[in-house]
Amino acid sequence: MKPKAITFDFWGTLFTEGEAFLERVMPARYEVLLDALSEAGHPAEEAEVREAYRQAALAFEEAWKAGEHMSVYERVARIFALLGAPHDPGLIALTARKLEETSLLVDLKPLPGVEVLKDLAKKYPLALVSDTGMTPGRLLREHLKRQGLDVFLAYSFSDETGFVKPRPEAFQTALEALGVAPEEALHVGDLPQTDIKGAFATGYPWAVQYVGLREVNGEVKPTAKVKDHRELLSLLE
């Protein structure tokens, strides 16, 4: 493989939320919502908030599978509606922002071999092509800085572009910023349905599936599979 540039997925490929995330971030999110609902004059029980949060997450998942990006604002609006709270655009926007910021309470967990990005960045222009959920692109950039891995020259985050994988536009946004044609690029991601299928549909000749966190099977077969990002070095040679 002799690509001129490499694009990476973020979640499940480079980082995962980890235990600390569940322990600290989720309670903080419920707290933000409980406060917001009280402010809206519509206090709720934590159990109700958890259930509404879960339903909004399922709606987000459905939209994502349908190839649409659902913003955090839309998610909060849905939670308010499910709980019968009045639709207050200002309060919803503020609550969405606070929910996003909770992701900075902990560091994300790097996946095996992720430090090799520093070596790869010396030889190849790198870009991120990532679908985002509750943590938007502006905060994922912050997480990369914290980890000393802000080595990317371009970013394509679904909350900023409006395009989710496998749509070619998600990949093209990053490649155009790098000034590289799809035919000259390699993509690394963990999901066959979005990463592998999307990269090939965009015109990439190579798509490597990262299986260091989990191995998801799909009908579209990757060029290769790696469990540790350091394996990319030998593949590239």
What is the predicted pLDDT for the residue at 165? 97
Computed on alpha carbons and rounded to an integer, the radius of gyration of the chain in Å comes to 19
171 shares its domain with 185 = yes
**What is residue 229's predicted lDDT score, i.e. its pLDDT?**
98
pLDDT digits (tens, 9 = 90+) for 73-132: 999 999 999 999 999 999 999 999 999 999 999 999 999 999 999 999 999 999 999 999
Looking at the structure, do residues 184 and 228 belong to the same domain, yes or no?
yes
Collect the ranges in the chain with pLDDT lower than 70: none
- What pLDDT score was predicted for residue 190? 98
Q: Are residues 12 and 77 in the same domain?
A: no
Instruction: Give Cβ neighbours of residue 163 (< 8 Å, ≥ 6 apart).
Output: 69, 156, 169, 170, 173
Measured from the Cβ of residue 207, the count of other Cβ atoms closer than 10 Å reads 25
Q: 229 and 185 in one domain?
A: yes
**pLDDT at 1 (0 to 100):** 79
End-of-domain residue from the set 105, 136, 165 = 105
Are 115 and 213 members of one domain? yes
Does residue 147 share a domain with residue 75?
no
225 and 136 in a single domain? The answer is: yes
DSSP string, 165-221: TTSHHHHHHHHHHHT--GGGEEEEES-IIIIIHHHHHHT-SEEEEE-SS-----SSP
CATH of residue 193: 3.40.50.1000
* Residue that finishes a domain, picked among 77, 105, 133: 105
| Beta carbons of 15 and 93 less than 8 angstroms apart | no
Q: Clarify whether residues 73 and 10 are in a common domain.
A: no
Do 122 and 98 lie in a common domain? no
pLDDT of residue 10: 98
Domain boundary among 69, 87, 105: 105
Q: Give the position of tokens 């549909």.
A: 201
- Residues near 235 by Cβ (< 8 Å), separated by ≥ 6? 1, 208, 224, 226
**Domain interval for residue 100:** 19-105
Amino acid found at 220:
V
116/25 same-domain check: no
